[in-house]
Amino acid sequence: MAEASRKIYMDYAATTPVDLRVLSSMMPYFSDDFGNPSSAHALGESAKKTVDGAREKLAAFLGARSSEIIFTSGATEGNNAVIKGIAMMRSIKWNEPQKMHIIASEIEHSAVIQPIERLATSGLVDVSFAPVDSTGRVSVEAISRLIREETTLVSIMYANNETGAIQAIAEIGALFTKLNACRKNKIYFHTDAVQAINYLDCNVGRLEVDMLTMSAHKIYGPKGIGAMYVKAGTPIARLIDGGEQEFKLRAGTHNVAGIVGLGEAISIIREYDKKNKEIEVLKNDLVRRVLASIPHSALNGVLDNSLPNIANIRFKGAEGEAILFMLSEAGVSVSTGSACMSGSHASSHVLKAMGLKDEDAHSSIRFSLGRSTTQRDIDYVLSILPGIIEKLRSISGWRG
């Protein structure tokens, strides 16, 4: 039976709690060391040093130069900034006669798809979406086939937020390096690495990316802060005007405490590598036991080439929203897809791109595990989930 007091969080892909070390690193910057890094006096100087210290931590983590790290309010802003920034530079500054062409995968987060679609419907760019296979992966060949002479930007996420599918970023990056050697119109390569940062190698040199975006609240840091890596020489126009901050690439008073928190979250991230292996064991156990104990359930995607913490499972004959609600009543927080899309009744564009029918996409649940997930949590979910699915199937009258 459900224990009413039980609180099990399995929605770490939506957001994570702030690590206590991160929180305490931030505290002095609210009321003691509260200076504005743009002020010329000592308090401002001190804040500037603090921001630059955090910038160095991010640069070290990504294998970049400090001057290539730009703080943003999060990955939604970062994604908008790189996409619109390249398009603005090309169409306004360079006044190129030919329309710029952008390639993205069909499974990008809406923070990538929507800015691209806005540019396309405004007539500023042409766009092609690369398909994925049934495991949720985009192939290098699928991208190659879409490349044109006027292709200027390619945006492929490092790992998908709904299924955990990891994309071959280094392989795709190597392709562009090779192609760019003999192209007049250079292809700039962006990856949304929001979900990958906790788990994967994010060295920008090895990935051969020109731009990478990330967000603090997915890596046990605070909400409202993120960063983008923009390789020196990448032609992007500033999205947010109003000041000279961030190497003139992003105006606005710095969120000093948030920046410190992001720096701290990044600098302790590799301490959790062992924990991440345990998370993967727990996820595999969850998947194996759910599929074994609930008939007509299936994993969306595969366990290989997938983040250690995300499992997306479909339950034929049961509505995802209803499963989510009943799990929530029993103290378990999960999601039906991306947090940003909840509230919309359209089925997941990610699952549909993988070939799922509407009804299967609607009967899917994302479990995303994290640093505090335990074996007891998995056991508890297994103790209630089969009953929930059975009940919903009997209500809907579904017969297998």
Q: Do the Cβ atoms of 312 and 163 come closer than 8 Å?
A: yes
The answer to whether 194 contacts ligand PLP (rule: CB under 6 A) is yes
Q: Do the Cβ atoms of 361 and 348 come closer than 8 Å?
A: yes
Phi/psi of residue 311, nearest 5 degrees: -130, 130
Smallest gap from Cβ 114 to ligand PLP, in A, equals 11
340 classed as catalytic? yes
Q: Please count the CA atoms within 13 angstroms of the CA of 201 that sit on its side-chain side.
A: 10
Among 69-77, 174-182, 300-308, 362-370, the segment contacting ligand PLP (CB under 6 A)? 69-77
The answer to whether 195 contacts ligand PLP (rule: CB under 6 A) is yes
In the set 99, 340, 387, 390, the catalytic residue is: 340
- Beta bridge mates, 312: 366
Task: Pick out residues in 251-280 that bind ligand PLP (CB under 6 A).
Answer: none
The DSSP H or E segment spanning 215 is strand 211-215
375-396 vs 320-329: helix crossing angle, rounded to 10? 130
The answer to whether 215 contacts ligand PLP (rule: CB under 6 A) is yes
Smallest gap from Cβ 324 to ligand PLP, in A, equals 17
Q: Which is nearer to ligand PLP, 74 or 308 (CB)?
A: 74
The answer to whether 75 contacts ligand PLP (rule: CB under 6 A) is yes
Q: Which is nearer to ligand PLP, 105 or 297 (CB)?
A: 105
The answer to whether 161 contacts ligand PLP (rule: CB under 6 A) is yes
Smallest gap from Cβ 192 to ligand PLP, in A, equals 5
Q: Give the CA angle between residues 217, 155, 75 to the nearest 5°.
A: 20
Type of residue found at 207: L
Binding mask 99-128 for ligand PLP (x = CB under 6 A): ----------x-x-----------------
Type of residue found at 90: R
The answer to whether 192 contacts ligand PLP (rule: CB under 6 A) is yes
The answer to whether 136 contacts ligand PLP (rule: CB under 6 A) is no
The answer to whether 339 contacts ligand PLP (rule: CB under 6 A) is yes
Q: Please count the CA atoms within 13 angstroms of the CA of 163 that sit on its side-chain side.
A: 32
The answer to whether 340 contacts ligand PLP (rule: CB under 6 A) is yes
Handedness of CA 195, 201, 204, 210 (dihedral sign): negative
Could you tell me whether strands 151-155 and 188-192 are parallel, antiparallel, or unpaired per DSSP bridges? parallel
- Nearest one of 55, 58, 122 to 87, comparing CA atoms: 122
Smallest gap from Cβ 35 to ligand PLP, in A, equals 25
Decide: residue 321, CB within 10 A, 0-12 exposed, 13-18 middle, 19+ buried. middle
Q: How many residues bind ligand PLP (CB under 6 A)?
A: 15
Site of interaction with ligand PLP (CB under 6 A): 74-76, 109, 111, 157, 161, 192, 194-195, 215, 226, 338-340
Catalytic residues: 340
